[in-house]
Structure 1
């Protein structure tokens, strides 16, 4: 790929890979409207999941909107290049995760999964099942999400998308650029790891 040194570099990381994009030439005027329409359709399909995922990581709706807006701006600026990728959804997901990481680093914070998803999950259980021991419910949820936060990156993403955000397996596979069977394999491995981690945590708590 030839690069134009006058255009800003956009780095997209995905696992161990790093993509540098200095952008493609500006398309002819007649294609701008069509490109905008394709971006709008893509954004409409994925925006809600992006926003919900970002919220679990940065901890507030406003911050999540900032992260997703930055992701969309980068996608739209280089949209012809993005469309040329093998998987547009995977490329966009990598950009979103990069923006989340930058936001957390800029604000000197850790991912907020435990503070967001754990408390929401505990609240739902308390409301729907009228649990008497509220502290015990909350403690179990916090312990679970602390264990999820310690999963390897791909298992973590699969668990958050599939079980926290309730995204179907096919969409999880699309975001991560893997087969549906691989999504389910990650889930199985994650469950075994979580069970082992929670059993060890429960034993320590009892002691």
Structure 2
């Protein structure tokens, strides 16, 4: 056997770099998988479709993982891949977002009820909270859904959206004010969220 046909040594830098990429991707996957699945479920309306969309998003992300790692925010880049995959799935299946029909949207109602006890007390049955949330501007809707349904913290949302935490809080506050105005109720007091 000639020297150039020998198998690479265990300490081969290319093999080590590939392993580091794989480990980083798996860590990212483990960190975000459940929340991505929840987000996909909100938009597709079914667990099966959400699984399909989430897996497709991770396949897309894996293909460009080295590029994603070079971005100023890996989370923000990956979030864009997920959102694009959701939109592609909805389009390919001739569907619109299922936000207003998703049973998981009840979580938003409960979260908002805790923050605005009396003012939001009648929303679910009388005022159409689900529809109002789906009509918010994209960033405000994303922040409300990511915070109250999916369960991301403001820091995580900021990373996903490529903005700072103050911007996340601003989107949340403006979104709540828009919801209150759309539903004809007094604005909620803000409690740092």
TM-score range, shorter chain: 0.7 to 0.9
Q: Counterpart of 1:183?
A: 168
Q: CA contact under 8 A between 2:108 and 2:145: conserved in structure 1?
A: no
In 1, the alpha carbon distance for the partners of 2:159 and 2:72 equals: 11
Structure having the higher strand fraction is 1
Q: CA contact under 8 A between 2:140 and 2:172: conserved in structure 1?
A: yes
- State the 1:124 CA deviation: 7.6
- Once the two structures are superposed, residues 80-127 of structure 1 have per-residue CA deviations (whole angstroms, 9 ceiling, x without a partner) of 1110010000000000000000111111111111111466449989xx
Selected match of 2:178 from 181, 193, 202: 193
Q: Does 1:168 align with 2:148?
A: no
In 1, the alpha carbon distance for the partners of 2:107 and 2:57 equals: 27
User: 1:176–1:164: structure 2 CA closer, same or farther, 3 Å change rule?
Assistant: same
Q: Does 1:40 align with 2:26?
A: yes
Structure with higher Rg: it is 2
Larger relative CO (CA 8 A, sep 6+): 1 or 2?
A: 2
List aligned pairs for 1:8-47, cutoff 5 A. 28-47=14-33
- SS of the aligned residue for 2:100 comes to helix
In 1, the alpha carbon distance for the partners of 2:26 and 2:149 equals: 26
Q: CA contact under 8 A between 1:67 and 1:100: conserved in structure 2?
A: yes
Selected match of 2:143 from 149, 158, 162: 158
Which runs of no fewer than 5 residues in structure 2 stay unpaired? 1-12, 112-121, 186-193
In 2, the alpha carbon distance for the partners of 1:118 and 1:49 equals: 12
CA RMSD of aligned residues (A): 2.4
Q: Counterpart of 1:86?
A: 72
Q: Does 1:116 align with 2:110?
A: no
Which runs of no fewer than 5 residues in structure 1 stay unpaired? 1-26, 126-135, 201-207
